[in-house]
């Protein structure tokens, strides 16, 4: 399933990058386990769609210090 990114024009690229860095900083500061309790990524089994799938590239870039078991149980199934 391809990851859909919002359409971003050149004018909005700076804002988009700032928002990504802000969210990434929250992931880094809180840790992915705590962050994902507030902004979960989940699968709707009926329509096979994910909510908040846009977080995956941000998590990939900013995850540090998460337990391996959490990663295997919660992040890997999304791939």
For residue range 42-60, what is the model confidence (pLDDT) as tens digits?
877 777 777 888 888 898 8
Residue 29 lies in a domain: yes
Region at 40 (left for phi over 0; alpha for psi -120 to 50; beta for the rest): beta
Question: Residue 3 falls within a domain, yes or no?
Answer: no
Q: Identify whether 35 is part of a domain.
A: yes
Residue whose tokens read 């329509």: 47
**Average pLDDT over the chain, rounded to an integer:** 80
Q: What percent of the chain has pLDDT over 70?
A: 84
Q: Is residue 61 part of a domain?
A: yes
Range of the domain at 49: 12-78
d(C-alpha 22, C-alpha 63), whole Å: 14
Q: Classify residue 32 by burial, with Cβ atoms within 10 Å: 0-12, 13-18, 19+.
A: buried
Q: How many domains does the chain have?
A: 1
Beta-carbon contacts of 15 under 8 Å, excluding residues fewer than 6 positions away, are: none
């Amino acid at each position: 399933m391809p990851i859909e990114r919002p359409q971003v024009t050149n004018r909005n690229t700076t804002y988009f990058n700032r928002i990504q860095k802000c969210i990434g900083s929250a992931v880094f500061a809180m840790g992915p386990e705590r962050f994902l309790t507030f902004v979960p990524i989940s699968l709707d089994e009926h329509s096979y769609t994910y909510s908040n799938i846009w977080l995956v590239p941000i998590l990939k870039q900013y995850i540090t210090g998460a337990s391996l078991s959490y990663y295997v149980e919660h992040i890997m199934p999304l791939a």
